[in-house]
Amino acid sequence: MLAPVLAIFALQSCDRVAHPYYIKTDMDTSLYGGPGSFIDYVYPTFTPNTNTLRNVMIEDYTGHKCSFCPGAAAEAKSIADANPGRVFVATIHGGASPDGLSDFQKTNASGSYTRDFTTPEGLEMAGTFYGLAVGLDSNPKGTINRINSGGPFFLSASVWGDSTTTALTYAPDVNLQAQSNYFPSTNGLFLHVETEFLNDMSGEFNVVGYVLQKEIIDWQNVFGVDEEFYEHHNVHIGNLFAETWGRSVGTGTITAGTKVYTDYSYEIPSGLTTDEIVFLIFVYDKTTYEVLQVIEHEI
């Protein structure tokens, strides 16, 4: 449960309570596992960001019963492997329907395909994009920074490579940095993000944090064959603060050099270790949905 306000009182002489000190935060302060109380938590200091490159996020919308999806997944992984530190993949189980759930994502009551790979945020995104008619009309389909070049921004896997090559040449308008503190005693993580606008901009911009599980071994239909021990990579297991569309980092006219700081807390899911998950953090334009910058953060 989030703890939006934590009040800590300073005691003066004669045991009188005066001038209460309030820490206002959306973070779940109960996840703090350091010395003292959360008032002693040390926020990170960011150094100047000298990055000059715009990274790329491939969102691979897939389903475990989709026979052609493994081919798309292999293509996405190949592109990312060829561009280390520049291209990142998020595998999202969502399909072409108003609620984001197609036959490809559905589960069985018993036997094979009992694991539900979908997330509320993933289904909401899939349903929204399906309704917007931006190309999510089947699985597999994917986005390359959701760049709209005069048409739908969901593309077939056959053009992901060329589209990524082009997107990597774009100059960045936004830079991102992230730092985190992890407390094993509570399995709690505090993640801090710096968004820096490099140019004068106008519009509405949000920051989003995807939580990805690096690998899950489970059933997958592979070109018509049901495989029990298929390796699912970078599976989307939720968003930070369960926010599908993130939170604002800029609205209206924004001056170059503006920096915005966003703080998150996250409890590592039971049964997972910090080595098994990774965060994709990105800023996007709320009007066009285009991803302006993305970084990967590991604990």
Topology given in CATH for the domain delimited by 56-297: Immunoglobulin-like (2.60.40)
Q: With contact defined as beta carbons under 8 Å apart, do 11 and 21 qualify?
A: no
- What average pLDDT score do residues 39-44 get? 95
Q: Where in the chain is the domain with CATH 2.60.40.10?
A: 56-297
pLDDT at 12 over 90: no
pLDDT at 149 over 80: no
pLDDT at position 23 is: 60
pLDDT at 193 over 70: yes
Nearest to 112 by CA among 225, 228, 18: 228
Q: With contact defined as beta carbons under 8 Å apart, do 256 and 263 qualify?
A: no
pLDDT at position 7 is: 38
For residue 90, give the 3-state DSSP assignment: strand
User: What digits encode the pLDDT tens for the residues 154-184?
Assistant: 999 999 999 999 999 999 999 999 999 999 9
Q: What percent of the chain has pLDDT over 90?
A: 90
pLDDT at 120 over 80: yes
Q: With contact defined as beta carbons under 8 Å apart, do 218 and 231 qualify?
A: no
Q: How far apart are CA 276 and CA 199, in angstroms?
A: 36
pLDDT at position 15 is: 41
pLDDT at position 148 is: 85
- What average pLDDT score do residues 247-275 get? 97
User: What digits encode the pLDDT tens for the residues 22-31?
Assistant: 566 899 999 9
Confidence label for 253 from pLDDT (cuts 50, 70 and 90): very high
User: What digits encode the pLDDT tens for the residues 56-107?
Assistant: 999 999 999 999 999 999 999 999 999 999 999 999 999 999 999 999 999 9
Confidence label for 8 from pLDDT (cuts 50, 70 and 90): very low
Confidence label for 52 from pLDDT (cuts 50, 70 and 90): very high
Q: How far is CA 238 from CA 31, 198, 218, in A?
A: 18, 29, 18
N-terminal to C-terminal alpha carbon distance within the chain: 22
H/E segment holding residue 56: strand 56-62
pLDDT at position 151 is: 80
Mean of all residue pLDDT scores within the chain: 93
- What average pLDDT score do residues 106-123 get? 98
Rounded to the nearest 5°, which phi and psi values hold at 161? Answer: -65, -50
Q: What is the DSSP string of 91-155?
A: EEE--SSTTS--GGG---SSSSS-S----HHHHHHHHHHHHHTSS-SSSSEEEETT--SSS-SEE
